[in-house]
């Protein structure tokens, strides 16, 4: 029997063993879920513990199911004779002390699989790539790193690139696949970089920035499980279609507890599905909007105005402005401007957000009005001291504090505000805070929230705060009740103790010997059964353990303020490409983004190899960008298809749609996914292609910014002259095989020679 057949059989036997072990683990998880689901107690705590256990075992089961495909993909043969199979997760036999059957790709021992070279073999004699379909081994590729080893298996891959090139050339499915089998050395260094601080990963189209970022999330969760599982990892993407595209990567690596979201989804309770014009988004995204909102808050902390329609000159005096407050049988109280001014200063001096400072304002007003009323009611006609005693003053204060008219006056001068109300009022009358030309761009009196509104809402929430004192008081009262109940239980247990010898200390431990009432109450408190990611999604103030931002060059200054609040430790990974910037609100440089938050304490690394875009397409895309950036150098493409881009003119111009549809018909005759990328204003003319953005469809119609981070087998770019340089560069670099450009007028000069 040939070596090649023997090796395939050996690996097949081992893969079968792994999957049997995986099945056993899954059966145990299923059994555990079934066991804890059966009633084992009727108490409140028993139900809580049962629910928590079900959630934990169900999460484990989901992770085990997700790694089924491609469970084991490699083997390391060490020079010392040891062998390690590498896979998506680690699997041990029942005896945890033994060497693992399967080593997790993130473990240190697995790193030579990605880094070893003939020059630096890292102790390896051979590196084997194992290809499977389901549970069947279909191919082996061996790389020899110890040239002194004469053993040959018949599966040697002289170039060592067969697995990578096969993955790059495979047809796309509409979902991003993980690259765990083909991580390259420059990518591995980014994935395993230290967690702390801000790491910026810059790279052109096809360099694997997104895949690297997702694998970094999986690695960090593996290396820092205790910290990050508790605080969660947030992955921020540019749009919902992109999040759907990458949604299967982390589960395939055994990680299901990461929150994927756009910036527009990071304000709980708000659905931002409206749209701004690019100019309006630029205005809303400027850093100056933080001060605009702060001024809007201060403007709502008002004072009584001068009473109108009175001829004060004729009266010979100008009375101080005041609010008249009807106080029933006691007549009218006057809330003078001076009172409000002093109360406002005291409230602002606390440094608290608007809503949290409001009680301080109200207390000062109540005190001032109480003193005013006391002066009226208790004045001695003969000029002596006030006739009211302390009890009388206290009673007057209580009556004023509960007066609806007083509360209305406080609300008028220092209203209780929500972020939604503040931002809506700002957008309805922006000319109160902005120059007219900017105000005209963002003025809106109705309609849905937009993604650019969300950072404004978040900023407003920071300025306003939430006065949750009543909720906290109620929660504390409930906690004290639980503690009192727990103490009663402990007292009963103490009373039931019996001692065989009264004069000798008992060696038996009672309940109160090992737990006090407060801890007992906490253990019986209602448990939050949501995962950390689920709790984070519902909590605007959640502090994440690590944040990964894709297409980071697109975010506005206000969006960065939102994200930095979500990560006080500044443990972040930012990936992007300044050459692909299409949003006018995006910053000019990484330094501009980071300097206000971390100074110069950030690291930059670049990925320089393009694994997606064939050299023929990349050459055209780079030429387009050089028209506006003469010194631009693109990432180096690792492959060539021999198929240059196809440039087609629609003649006459009215036949644009017919020309595009003909190109679609031609491209869909081949395998794979096709994207038609056109300016938004042309989508109506391409009606047969319109529909929801569903990347599982064979053909999808997108605008350039919807295509960011995505890849397709074939791409048709429509009317390139209508696209900005950054957007056109993005559109041209989405294809992995074929590119067609359809135009009516003159295309950009860089595209003309290919016609």
**Range 581-613 burial, b when 16+ CB lie within 10 A, else e:** bbbebbbeebeebbeebeeeebeeeebebbbbb
**Residue 370 confidence (pLDDT) above 50:** yes
Question: For 169-198, what is the mean pLDDT?
Answer: 90
Placement of tokens 């990458």 in the chain = 246
**Which one-letter DSSP state was computed for residue 339?**
H
Among residues 60, 61, 67, 160, which one has the least CA distance to residue 119?
160
As a whole number of angstroms, the distance between CA 676 and CA 722 comes to 15
CA Rg, the chain, in Å? 34
Higher pLDDT, 224 or 154: 224
Cα-based torsion angle of the residue sequence 8, 10, 11, 17 in order, rounded to the nearest 10 degrees: 140
* Per-residue model confidence (pLDDT) at position 170: 81
Q: Which residues contact 300 (CB under 8 A, 6 or more apart)?
A: 354, 414, 415, 417, 422
pLDDT in tens, 193-203: 999 999 999 99
DSSP 683-748: GGGGGGG-S---TTSSEEEE-GGGGTT--EEEEEEE-GGGS-HHHHHHHHT-EEEEEEEEESSPPP
Alpha carbon distances (Å) from 381 to 29, 107, 373, 387, 392: 86, 89, 16, 10, 18
Placement of tokens 């890849």 in the chain = 711
Higher pLDDT, 306 or 622: 622
* Per-residue model confidence (pLDDT) at position 504: 44
| Mean pLDDT of all residues belonging to the chain | 86
SS3 520: helix
**Residue 381 confidence (pLDDT) above 70:** no
**Residue 505 — pLDDT band, cuts 50, 70, 90?**
very low
Share of the chain above pLDDT 90, in %: 59
Q: Are 715 and 735 in contact (CB under 8 A)?
A: yes
Can you count the helices (H) and strands (E) in the chain? 28, 20
pLDDT in tens, 320-348: 688 889 887 777 889 999 999 999 999 99
| CB count in 10 Å sphere of residue 573 | 26
H or E element that contains 210: helix 209-223
Q: At what angle do helices 289-299 and 557-566 cross, to 10 degrees?
A: 80
As a whole number of angstroms, the distance between CA 16 and CA 19 comes to 5
**Residue 518 confidence (pLDDT) above 70:** no
pLDDT in tens, 103-136: 999 999 999 999 998 889 999 999 999 999 999 9
Highest mean pLDDT: which of 366-375, 480-489, 677-686? 677-686
* Per-residue model confidence (pLDDT) at position 97: 61
**Residue 375 — pLDDT band, cuts 50, 70, 90?**
confident
33: region left, alpha or beta (phi > 0 left; psi from -120 to 50 alpha): alpha
Higher pLDDT, 150 or 275: 275
Among residues 498, 493, 535, 536, which one has the least CA distance to residue 513?
493
């Amino acid at each position: 029997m040939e070596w090649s057949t023997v090796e395939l059989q050996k690996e097949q036997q081992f893969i079968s063993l792994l999957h049997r072990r995986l099945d056993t683990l899954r059966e145990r998880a299923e059994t555990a879920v079934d066991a804890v689901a059966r009633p084992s107690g009727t108490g409140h705590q028993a139900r809580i513990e049962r629910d928590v256990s079900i959630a934990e075992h169900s999460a484990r089961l989901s992770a085990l199911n997700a790694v089924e495909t491609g469970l084991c993909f490699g083997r390391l043969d060490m020079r010392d004779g040891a062998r390690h199979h590498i896979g998506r997760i680690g699997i041990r036999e029942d005896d945890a002390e033994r060497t693992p059957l399967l080593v997790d790709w993130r473990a240190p021992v697995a790193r030579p699989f990605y880094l070893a070279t003939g020059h630096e073999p890292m102790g390896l004699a051979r590196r084997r790539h194992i290809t499977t379909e389901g549970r069947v081994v279909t191919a082996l590729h061996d790389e020899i790193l110890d040239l002194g080893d004469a053993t040959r298996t018949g599966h040697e891959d002289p170039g060592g690139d067969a697995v990578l090139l096969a993955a790059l050339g495979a047809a796309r499915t509409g979902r991003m696949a993980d690259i765990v089998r083909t991580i390259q050395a420059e990518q591995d260094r980014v994935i395993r970089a230290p967690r702390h601080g801000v790491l910026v990963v810059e790279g052109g189209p096809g360099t694997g920035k997104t895949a690297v970022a997702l694998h970094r999330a999986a690695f960090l969760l593996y290396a820092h499980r205790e910290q990050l599982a508790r605080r969660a990892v947030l992955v921020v993407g540019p749009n919902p279609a992109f999040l759907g595209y990458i949604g299967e990567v982390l589960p395939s690596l055994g990680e299901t507890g990461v929150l994927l979201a756009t910036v527009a989804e990071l304000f709980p309770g708000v659905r931002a599905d409206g749209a701004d014009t690019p100019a309006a988004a630029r205005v809303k995204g400027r850093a100056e909007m933080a001060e605009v909102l702060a001024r809007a808050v201060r403007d709502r902390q008002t004072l009584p105005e001068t009473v109108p329609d009175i001829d004060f000159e004729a009266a010979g005096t100008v009375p101080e402005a005041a609010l008249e407050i009807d106080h029933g049988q006691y007549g009218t109280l006057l809330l003078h401007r001076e009172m409000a001014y002093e109360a406002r200063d005291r409230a602002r001096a606390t440094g608290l957000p608007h809503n949290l400072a409001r009680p301080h304002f109200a207390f000062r007003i109540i005190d001032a009005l109480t003193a005013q009323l006391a002066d009226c009611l208790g004045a001695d006609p003969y000029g002596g001291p006030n006739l009211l005693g302390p009890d009388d003053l206290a009673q007057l204060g209580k009556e004023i504090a509960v007066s609806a008219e007083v509360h209305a006056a406080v609300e008028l001068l220092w209203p209780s505000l929500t972020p939604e109300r503040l931002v809506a009022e700002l957008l309805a009358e922006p000319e109160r805070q902005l120059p007219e030309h900017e105000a005209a761009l963002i003025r809106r009196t109705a309609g849905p929230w937009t993604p650019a509104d969300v950072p404004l809402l978040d900023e407003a929430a920071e300025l306003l705060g939430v006065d949750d004192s009543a909720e906290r008081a109620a929660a504390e009262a409930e906690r004290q009740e639980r503690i009192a109940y727990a103490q009663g239980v402990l007292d009963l247990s103490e009373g039931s103790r019996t001692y065989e010898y009264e004069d000798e200390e008992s060696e038996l431990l009672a309940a109160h010997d090992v737990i006090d009432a407060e801890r007992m109450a906490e253990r019986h408190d209602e448990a939050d059964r949501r995962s950390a990611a689920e709790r984070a999604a519902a909590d605007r103030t959640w502090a994440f353990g690590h944040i990964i931002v894709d297409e980071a060059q697109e975010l506005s200054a206000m969006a960065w303020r939102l994200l930095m609040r979500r990560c006080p430790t500044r443990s972040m990974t930012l990936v992007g490409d300044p050459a692909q910037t299409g949003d006018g609100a995006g910053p000019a440089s990484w330094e501009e983004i980071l300097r206000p938050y971390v100074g110069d304490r950030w690291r930059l690394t670049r990925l320089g190899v393009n694994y997606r875009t064939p050299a023929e397409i990349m050459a055209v895309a780079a030429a387009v960008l050089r028209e506006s950036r003469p010194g631009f150098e693109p990432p180096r493409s690792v492959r060539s298809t021999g198929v240059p881009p196809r440039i087609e003119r629609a003649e006459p111009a009215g036949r644009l749609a017919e020309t595009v549809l003909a190109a679609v018909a031609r491209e869909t005759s081949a395998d794979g996914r096709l994207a038609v990328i056109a300016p938004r204003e042309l989508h109506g003319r391409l009606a047969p292609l319109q529909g929801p953005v569903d990347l599982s469809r064979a053909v999808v119609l997108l605008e350039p910014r919807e295509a960011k981070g995505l890849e397709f087998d074939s791409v048709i770019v429509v009317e390139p002259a209508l696209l900005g340089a950054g957007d056109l560069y993005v559109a041209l670099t989405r294809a992995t095989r074929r590119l067609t450009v359809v135009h009516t007028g003159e295309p950009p000069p860089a595209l003309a020679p290919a016609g």
